[in-house]
Amino acid sequence: MPGSWAGTVIHTDGEEVLLLVLQEKWDKTKKWVEWVKEHTSEGLAFLHKELEQCWGFLIYVSRTYRPFVPLLRGVHQTLESWREWRGADGWKMAAKDIAFAMEKEELEGPR
């Protein structure tokens, strides 16, 4: 049965194999990427819920197009930036680093 299975359409001519998403999904992908580009270049605020929707959809697309993964990491860091105990790189600190920071905070007061 032709069509998409798990979001990916596979084409082959006997020598080459191409992985694609449906045109409708590709159009939506371009819309989300343009949205992120516009917000970052113009310094616009990201609404958390809208950014989550973008991230979720791009996760779906990244199963077919692996080069989207670095973009997803940046979106993930932005979505999680409000949480405590983030390192300078935006990722969650390791448990031992959190424990050390908490000890230091008890000795020196809140940060």
Are residues 73 and 36 in contact, defined by beta-carbon separation less than 8 angstroms?
Answer: no
Query: Please, which residues have CB within 8 angstroms of residue 46's CB and are 6 or more apart in sequence?
Result: 39, 78
The pLDDT tens digits of the residues spanning 73-108 come to 888 888 887 788 888 777 888 999 888 888 887 666
Give me the residue spans of the domains in the chain.
Answer: 1-80, 84-111
The pLDDT tens digits of the residues spanning 22-36 come to 888 999 999 999 999
The pLDDT tens digits of the residues spanning 39-69 come to 999 999 989 999 999 999 999 899 888 888 8
Supply the pLDDT for residue 43.
93
Token pair recorded at residue 35: 């949205």
Supply the pLDDT for residue 9.
81
The structure tokens 């798990």 sit at: 6
Are residues 9 and 22 in contact, defined by beta-carbon separation less than 8 angstroms?
Answer: yes
Are residues 3 and 9 in contact, defined by beta-carbon separation less than 8 angstroms?
Answer: yes
Supply the pLDDT for residue 109.
53
Supply the pLDDT for residue 106.
66
